[in-house]
A = this chain, B = another copy of it.
Amino acid sequence: MAGDKKHRLAIIGSGNWGSAIARIAGGNVSKFGNLFETEVKMYVHEEEIKGRKLSEIINEEHENVKYLPGVKLPENVVATPSAVEAAEGADLLIFVLPHQFIEATCKELRGHIAKDARAISMIKGVEVKNGNIRIFADVIEEILGCRCAALSGANIANEVAEDKFSETTIGYRPNDLATAELFHKVFDTPQFKVGMVEDVAGVSLCGALKNVVAIAAGFTDGLGWGSNAKAAVMRIGLMEMKRFSEEFFQGVKPETFTETSAGIADLITTCFGGRNRKCAEAFVKTGKSFEVLEKELLNGQKLQGTETAREVHEFLKARGKVEEYPLFRSVFSIAYEGEGVKGLTSKL
């Protein structure tokens, strides 16, 4: 990219979180007009809302009426039903899609992105394939051939959209603070404070593994074990998250887990609110299986925490390391092997 050329942003995704982030990014590119092109294209997976196209509603009413109703988007955010059109000419790509669409969307974009493009992944979760766990920033980087950072934090989308105070964390690639600083300008506001850490894997893994810990925290709630036990399980879970990531991923920094919004802060919000905690509490109180609870409470959607617990378990089992992560193990055994929930802390 030539020194004076302005950066052009594209947002690939427009759900609840994507729309909240589009609101902030749209505002900031206008604020830093010397750095960024004003127009921000946003890829919208097209759907019909009462006979109208969602992309058209967004462009006419500046509101994502389906996924972030009641919140106005800046007028410089322009929706398009084509991911390729959204990315065309952009050198800063923000991926904020449900994880099952990442691979296909990246393949569609291949060959259509700027040579000097850089990406950031806001996708929670990890990809598990052939016994390996991969973070989505690596998936994006591999398919598109461009550097990819990650953003995660204690960020309930509706609260961010309402301008309630929040923090978040950008994880960047080794020696690539420059990219993080650019994305910092895209996202940072007085009410949405962005920290930076040289650790893409750590930031991404926090967002996935916290859900396993939230299942354990929900179990303690269901059992009525009180505050000491819940805090202990959260602490032990955080230590297992950190140790797991340090053991199996290169360049992971311990402080990503213990000091950043992506780590400890997001763990706190997830263990006190959120569906994982809630379903785990219901699992104990009702005696129903997670499969049944997913149908009853989540319209059949898979619960991330139990899914990740299973994936992590298979990963560890293949490497003979199950015993070294007793909390992860207990969550798996209770959710999938019929182990009694009262044994949650017996191996800690």
A contacts, CB < 8 Å to B:
153-156, 159-160, 162, 164-167, 190, 193, 220, 225-236, 238-239, 255, 258-261, 264-266, 268-269, 272-273, 345-346, 348
Measured between beta carbons, the chain B residues less than 8 angstroms from A258 are: 255, 258-259, 264
B160, B232, B264: the one within 8 Å of A261 (CB): B232
Measured between beta carbons, the chain B residues less than 8 angstroms from A220 are: 165
Closest to A232 in B: B167
Measured between beta carbons, the chain B residues less than 8 angstroms from A232 are: 154, 165-167, 193, 261, 265
Copies in the complex: 2
Interface pair B229/A159, CB less than 8 Å apart: yes
Measured between beta carbons, the chain B residues less than 8 angstroms from A166 are: 228-229, 232
B154, B156, B226, B268: the one within 8 Å of A268 (CB): B268
Interface pair B231/A164, CB less than 8 Å apart: no
Taking the closest CB of chain B, its distance from the CB of A278, in whole angstroms, is 13
Measured between beta carbons, the chain B residues less than 8 angstroms from A273 are: 227
Taking the closest CB of chain B, its distance from the CB of A306, in whole angstroms, is 22
Interface pair B231/A345, CB less than 8 Å apart: no
Known interface pairs A193-B348, A228-B156. Does A268 touch B164 (Cβ–Cβ under 8 Å)? Answer: no
Known interface pairs A193-B348, A259-B258, A264-B264. Does A167 touch B235 (Cβ–Cβ under 8 Å)? Answer: yes
B227, B233, B260: the one within 8 Å of A272 (CB): B227
